[in-house]
A and B are shown apart, each in its own frame.
Chain A
Amino acid sequence: MDLAILVQLLINGILLGGVYAMAAVGLSLIFGVSGVLNLAHGEFLMLSGFFVYVVYDRLGLNPFLAVALVAPCFFVVGYLFEMGLIRPLALRKEHVRLASATLVTLGVALIVEDATSFASLGGSFEKSVDIFVPTLVLGTVFLPSLKLVIFAVVLALIAALFLFLKYTYIGLAVQAVTQNRRGAVLNGVNTFRINAIAFGIGTFMAAAAGGFEVIHSAVAPDIGLPLTLKYLSIIVMGGLGSFAGVALGGVIIGLGEALVGFYNPAWGQTVAYLLLVAILLVRPKGLLGK
C-alpha cells in the first residue's frame, strides 16, 4: 500500500473514532452510573439532529450555533426521561430493575422511531444541513475540518467531564454512585438525582453528536438503533465506565473500519464486532476496564 494512502486511512480512522466516541461517552456515563443500557441513546441523537435542522432551516441560524442551542435542551430531556420512565422502576429487585429499565429504553427507542416517521412536518424526515466546511489539504493528505472539529470537541468534552467528575460535588457523587451505590446512599448522596443528572449529561452528549451527524451526513428515523449497537460495542470494548477506554475503543473501531473497508466495504462494518469479540476474549473487562 502506498504510504500516502496509509496515512490518509489512519487519519480517516482516528477521526471516525472521534465521531463514534462522542456519543459513546454519554452512553458509557449512563451505564456506569445507573447500570441501565439506554437503547434509546441513538434515538436522542437522531432527534437532536432533526431539531438542529429545524432551527437551521426555519430560523436561518448557523448550524453550529443551532447545535449549541439544541444540545443543552437534551440535558433536560435526558433528566426528565430518567425521572419519568426509569426512576419508577428503582425499588424493584436489582436484576428486575435493570432488565425492565433496558426494555423500557428499547420501547422508547421504537416509539420515537415510529413517531418521527410520521411527524414529517410536510416532507420526509430525512434531513441534512447544506453546509460545507473546507477541507485542510496537506500535500496529498486531506484533513476534513468538520471531523477535526468533532474530534477536538470530543477531547474537550471528555476533559470537561473528567474535571467535572473530579472537582465538583456532583461529580464526586456520580463517581461514588458508580463505585458503590449503597455506600453512596449511606453517605447521604441522593442517588435518584445523580442518576437523572447522568442521563441528562449522557443525552446531551448524544444530542451534540446528533447535531454533528446532520451537518456531516444526514439523519433519518431509522438510524438510531444501529448506532446504539455500535456505541455499545465501543464502550464494552473500551471497558465499562472508562471514558478513556471509550475514546480508545472508538479509535480502534474507526481504524479497523477504515483499513478493512479500503479493501472490502462489507467487512469494514463487520470488523467492529470481530474486534469486540477478540478483545473481550483477551481482556474480558475491556481495554481499560477495572
Chain B
Amino acid sequence: MLNKSCSLSRLGVAALALMASLLAWAIATPVQAQTEILIGGTIAQSGSLQGIVKPFGALGQAWVDDVNSRGGIYLSKLGRKLPVRMILYDDQSEPPTALKQYERLATVDKVHLFIGPFSSFVTNAAMQASIKHKIPFFMVEANDAVLFEENNNWRATGLAPAAWEYKRVAELYKRMGGASTFAVLSRDNLHERGAAQGFADEVKRQGFTVVYKEEAPKDIKDFSSIILAMKGKNPDVVLIEALPPPWNIGFLKQARELGLNPQDIVVGHTPIPVIKGMGESAENIVSSLYMFDGDTPDHLRFAKLCAAAGFEPWQYSESGIRYRAYRRIEDALERAGSLDADEIRIAMWTTGMTLFGEETMKHDHEGYGTDHPYPTQVKGGKHVSLWPLEKGAATHQYKMGKW
C-alpha cells in the first residue's frame, strides 16, 4: 500500500514537471513573427500544358516584384504592410504531381494561401491539399462543373462556369449574322467537354443549329474521319476546343489538307505554337482571350507585368486570368487584414471588385465568379480583340475557307 502511494506520488511529480517544462518552453518560444505573405502554387513548366502557361512563373514573379516595390500588401490587423513571396513548382501538367507539390507547399513551405495551377483536371487534384490542410485556394484557370460539385468553402475563383467560355463568341455570331449552322469538336477532358457543350447550348439558345458535335480522344493524331463526317454536315462555323497546341495543329492541318472550308473556324485556345505552326493559314481564325483593348489602370498594369515576364498579353490567352487572380488575391488579403486562413477564405468568397474598368465580380452560391473570355481574331499573326460586340462585328472577317 505504501509502495503504491509512493509510486503514484512520483508519477504525479513527473507529470507536474512535464507540464512545467512544456509551459516554460511555450513561454520561451516566441510567436513566429509574420514577416511575409507566402503564396504557393504550381504551374506547368513541362508536359502537355507547358505551351500555354510556361511563362506564368515569370508573370507571377513580376506581380510579386510590383507589389513589393510598393512595400507589399497592407494587413490592417497587423498594422503594417508585408512583402509577398511566391513559391511555384512544376506540376508537369500531371494531377498526381500537382497534388504532391501542393502537399509540399502545405507541410514544408507552410504557405498562407494557395494559387491554383492551370486547367480543371490538374486543379481537381491539387485542391485536395487545400481541403486537407485548410489552406485557402484561389482557383485560377479552372472552372469545370466537377470542381463545384462538393460544398468546399476553401476554394474560390473569379471564373464563370466552363459552359460560359464561348458565350461572347456566340453573341458575336448573332450580332454579325451570316452563319447559321455550327460544328463542335472537343478534346475528351475536363473543362474542354464542358466548354464545348456550353457553346453548343449557347448557339442553340441564339437560334442557330448544331449540325455536328463530338468528343475526340486526348491522344488522337488522325482527324481525317472526323473531318470527313464534319464535311458531310457542311457547317458554316467549326469550333474546336482543346488545350494542347499539337491537338489543335493536328486538326487544322488535316482540315486544310482534306478541304474542310467552313465560313469560319473558332479555335478556343490559339497560343503562339498554333499560330506559328499554321503560318498564314492561321489568319482570321477566331479565338478568345481574357482581355480586350483598353487603357484602364488594370490594362496598363497588366501590360507592364507581361512585359516584365517577357511576352505580350495576346501571346498567352490565359495570362489575363492570372492577372485577375493576382488582383483578387491582393484585394482579399487587404480585406482579410491578416494571414488567418479563415479570414482570407471569407474575404475571397465575398470579393466584389471592378477589373479592367468593366465588371464587378461576385461569387454565386456555388462559388463561380463571372469572368469569361472575350472574342479575338488572328490578324497578321497576332490576336486582335473583337470586343465590345460593335467593334467586333465591324472588325471580324469571315475566313471563307481561305487557308
Contact = CB atoms under 8 A, between A and B. Distances in A.
Interface of A: 2, 5, 8-9, 12, 16, 19, 114, 117-118, 120, 123-132, 135, 137, 142, 144, 146-147, 216-223, 226-227, 254, 257-263, 265-266, 268-269
Given A16-B224, A117-B45, A218 B246 contact: yes
In this complex, the member of B221, B228, B254, B259 whose beta carbon has the largest number of chain A beta carbons within 10 angstroms is: B221
Given A117-B47, A218-B250, A124 B54 contact: yes
Contacts of B232: 2, 5
Nearest to B44: A117
A254 B224 CA distance: 11
Given A126-B51, A220-B51, A117 B228 contact: no
Contact of B276 (A19, A125, A128): A128
A261 B225 contact: yes
Contact of B244 (A220, A265, A266): A220
B273 A128 contact: yes
21 contacts: A16-B222, A117-B45, A123-B54, A124-B54, A124-B245, A126-B245, A126-B273, A128-B273, A130-B277, A142-B258, A146-B257, A218-B249, A222-B93, A254-B222, A261-B222, A262-B228, A263-B229, A265-B217, A265-B226, A266-B216, A269-B220
Interface residues of B, number: 45
A9 B225 CA distance: 7
A124 B253 CA distance: 19
Contacts of A130: 276-281
Given A114-B46, A117-B45, A128 B277 contact: yes
A217 B250 contact: yes
Contact of B256 (A8, A132, A266): A132
Given A117-B92, A144-B258, A217-B249, A265 B48 contact: no
Contact of A12 (B50, B93, B228, B403): B228
B222 A257 contact: yes
Nearest to B276: A130
Contacts of B228: 5, 8-9, 12, 262
A217 B255 CA distance: 11
Given A135-B257, A135-B259, A261 B226 contact: yes
Contact of B224 (A12, A124, A221): A12
Contacts of A226: 219
B272 interface: yes
B330 interface: no
A34 to B, nearest CB: 28
Contact of B217 (A117, A135, A227, A269): A269
A186 B219 CA distance: 47
In this complex, the member of A135, A217, A218, A265 whose beta carbon has the largest number of chain B beta carbons within 10 angstroms is: A218
Contacts of B279: 130-131
B214 interface: yes
The 6 A-B pairs at the shortest CB distance, nearest first, are namely A117-B46, A128-B277, A130-B279, A124-B51, A261-B225, A218-B246
Interface string B207-225: 0000000111101111011
B143 to A, nearest CB: 23
A137 B93 CA distance: 41
Contacts of A266: 188, 215-217
A128 B48 CA distance: 15
Nearest to A119: B46
Contacts of A262: 225-226, 228-229
A227 B220 CA distance: 10
A269 B219 contact: yes
A154 B51 CA distance: 32
A251 to B, nearest CB: 13
In this complex, the member of A12, A125, A129, A217 whose beta carbon has the largest number of chain B beta carbons within 10 angstroms is: A217
Contacts of A219: 246
Contacts of A118: 45-46
Given A135-B259, A216-B253, A265-B214, A126 B225 contact: no
B377 to A, nearest CB: 19
Contact of A123 (B47, B226, B272, B278): B272
In this complex, the member of B45, B222, B257 whose beta carbon has the largest number of chain A beta carbons within 10 angstroms is: B222
Contact of A217 (B221, B259, B280, B403): B221
A80 to B, nearest CB: 26
Contact of A268 (B225, B272, B273): B225
Nearest to A269: B217
Contacts of B254: 144, 217
Nearest to B225: A261
B254 to A, nearest CB: 8
Contacts of B46: 114, 117-118, 221
B278 to A, nearest CB: 6
Interface string B23-50: 0000000000000000000000111101
Contacts of A128: 245-246, 249, 253, 273, 276-278
A19 B221 CA distance: 11
Contacts of A129: 277
A261 B222 CA distance: 9
A267 to B, nearest CB: 9
B257 A265 contact: no
Contact of A117 (B50, B244, B277): B50
A227 B214 CA distance: 23
Contacts of A265: 214-217, 220, 225-226
Contacts of B259: 135, 137, 142
A187 B279 CA distance: 57
A91 B172 CA distance: 69
Nearest to B280: A130
A132 B403 contact: yes
Contacts of A218: 245-246, 249-250, 273, 277
A125 B225 contact: no
A257 to B, nearest CB: 6
A128 B281 CA distance: 13
